[in-house]
Amino acid sequence: DTAVSQTPKYLVTQMGNDKSIKCEQNLGHDTMYWYKQDSKKFLKIMFSYNNKELIINETVPNRFSPKSPDKAHLNLHINSLELGDSAVYFCASSQPGQEGFFGPGTRLTVL
């Protein structure tokens, strides 16, 4: 059973489009996250949700809007995609203060 799953695995799109990435975890964790990994492999947190409530928003542009319909799901919607949004986006989940379990990543390429 996959602990943290993301769809799609690859996403290629044109500048200006809107796209969504979905994430689901079956670990029963209270907290879910989105991380962005840039071309230099640097990992930075974007958002964190605890029991469907947003608790961390790390100065991410408003074009990025996370949504958590329940504590097992955290989706990421991106409006008006820009070239600089090209990256690998990782979803993760954890219990507070514990290690994060990461999904396989979504490689987003904006042309």
Partner 1 sequence: AQSVTQLDSQVPVFEEAPVELRCNYSSSVSVYLFWYVQYPNQGLQLLLKYLSGSTLVKGINGFEAEFNKSQTSFHLRKPSVHISDTAEYFCAVTTTGGGNKLTFGTGTQLKVEL
26 in the Ramachandran plot: left (φ > 0), alpha (ψ -120 to 50) or beta? alpha
The answer to whether 42 contacts partner 1 (rule: CB under 8 A) is yes
Q: Are 87 and 41 in contact (CB under 8 A)?
A: no
Min CB(52)–partner 1 separation in Å: 13
Min CB(80)–partner 1 separation in Å: 27
Closest CA to 20 of 92, 91, 71: 91
Q: Which is nearer to partner 1, 73 or 107 (CB)?
A: 107
The answer to whether 66 contacts partner 1 (rule: CB under 8 A) is no
Among 12, 15, 43, 111, binds partner 1 (CB under 8 A): 43
Closest CA to 75 of 32, 107, 30: 32
The answer to whether 34 contacts partner 1 (rule: CB under 8 A) is no
